[in-house]
Chains A and B, each alone.
Chain A
Amino acid sequence: MIAIPTLTTDRLTLRAPHIDDFDALAAFYASPRASFVGGPLTAELSWRVLAQEAGHWLLRGFGRWVVEHRASGAPIGIVGLWFPAGFPEHELGWDLFEGHEGQGYATEAAHAARSYAYDMLGWTTLISLVADGNDASTRVARRLGARPDGRFTYERFGDMAVWRHPAPSEVAA
């Protein structure tokens, strides 16, 4: 077991994934919203995804957080640092659950996760992988200052656009 850090932003808390997040995650993965990230999935496969999130932290020492809306305490998405076997380099990823899009939450959470990667882990670069047609995610990548940087084919999600984030020196301040 490792201690998973908690990050706080104006409106959000990024915290360790927990078994109580299963219902929210399963609802997301059963919805059309998950079509860009390997969904829709059955309950069992959604469990595996949640268990993988926890396992990733244990294997890599970093991972993705469950994003909680501070005012309501509700889990609204999963955002963070992802480097499973087969990925070309460290990725910053974001999945927002149904009903929480359009309010800048993904950008706010991803900012916090990127700062953690640069300031606490000392990383010097990050990519985000976005499936073709995932316009909402593309907008988040742009808002974060990322630029297109080629393509990558992942056996689980297919062919995706690579977005390269600005370096630590470019996002300082």
Chain B
Amino acid sequence: MTQTLTTSRLTLRPLAPRDEDAATAFYMSERSAMTGGHLPRPAAWRAFAAMLGHWQMRGFGLWAVTRKGDDTAIGMVGPYFPAGWPETEIGWVLFDGAEGHGYAFEAAQAAMADARTRLGWTDIVHYIRAGNDRSIRLAERMGARLDPDAPRPEGSSGPALVYRQPGGAP
């Protein structure tokens, strides 16, 4: 049975091959520049393949966010923990046209609650590129605060700010 999470307006289901077109289009769009995207199609496809593979490797990953009654993915939200990541992250991206409705907040709250109860996560952070003001506002709305001393992930996506949820280690 496929596990899903539901909120008042959304169904979160595991990311799947059928999300290829929507996710690849996102990674090609300018909208994704703040999350390491705005890529040519081959790199965008690989970025999606890696997101899908995260599920296979870890048994969890970013959920495909869908509106109830419509299976089309409008974003990807959820637990992200690649090897080499300093701490467990709840991440989010909304595809073009899905922003401005509070979907990311609604999905991220559900995904975070599930990560705490089902995955046993306690120290939850959000890595956000400086200048990504919408994501910073969302992290703050979710109760996270900037942690200037937290370790940052090494990698390709540029300098990251670390927003930390209360309740874990410092």
- B residues 126-157 with Cβ under 8 Å of A? 153-156
Inter-subunit contact B42/A84 (CB<8 Å): yes
Q: Mark B87-113, 1 if CB is under 8 A from A, else 0.
A: 000000000000000000000000000
Inter-subunit contact B45/A50 (CB<8 Å): no
Report the nearest B residue to A85, measured CB to CB. Answer: B45
Contacts of B40 in A (CB 8 A): 86, 155
- A residues 24-81 with Cβ under 8 Å of B? 26, 42-59
Inter-subunit contact A26/B52 (CB<8 Å): no
Contacts of A120 in B (CB 8 A): none
Contacts of B56 in A (CB 8 A): 1, 51, 54-55, 57-58
Report the nearest A residue to B40, measured CB to CB. Answer: A155
**B120 interface residue, CB < 8 Å from A?**
no
Contacts of A53 in B (CB 8 A): 53
Q: A22 → chain B, closest Cβ, in Å? A: 5
- Complex: A17 Cα to B56 Cα, angstroms: 9
Inter-subunit contact A51/B54 (CB<8 Å): yes
Inter-subunit contact B43/A155 (CB<8 Å): yes
Inter-subunit contact A45/B57 (CB<8 Å): no
Give the segment of B63-71, B78-86, B162-170 that binds chain A.
B78-86
Report the nearest A residue to B84, measured CB to CB. Answer: A43
Inter-subunit contact A59/B154 (CB<8 Å): no
Contact partner of A51 (CB less than 8 A), chosen from B42, B53, B155, is B53
- Complex: A1 Cα to B8 Cα, angstroms: 28
Given contacts A48-B82, A51-B57, contact A85 B24 (CB under 8 A): yes
Contacts of B43 in A (CB 8 A): 155-156
**B77 interface residue, CB < 8 Å from A?**
no
Inter-subunit contact B84/A47 (CB<8 Å): yes
Inter-subunit contact B154/A42 (CB<8 Å): yes
Inter-subunit contact A51/B82 (CB<8 Å): yes
**B20 interface residue, CB < 8 Å from A?**
yes
Q: A39 → chain B, closest Cβ, in Å? A: 13
Residues of A within 8 A of B (CB): 1, 17-19, 22, 26, 42-59, 84-87, 154-156
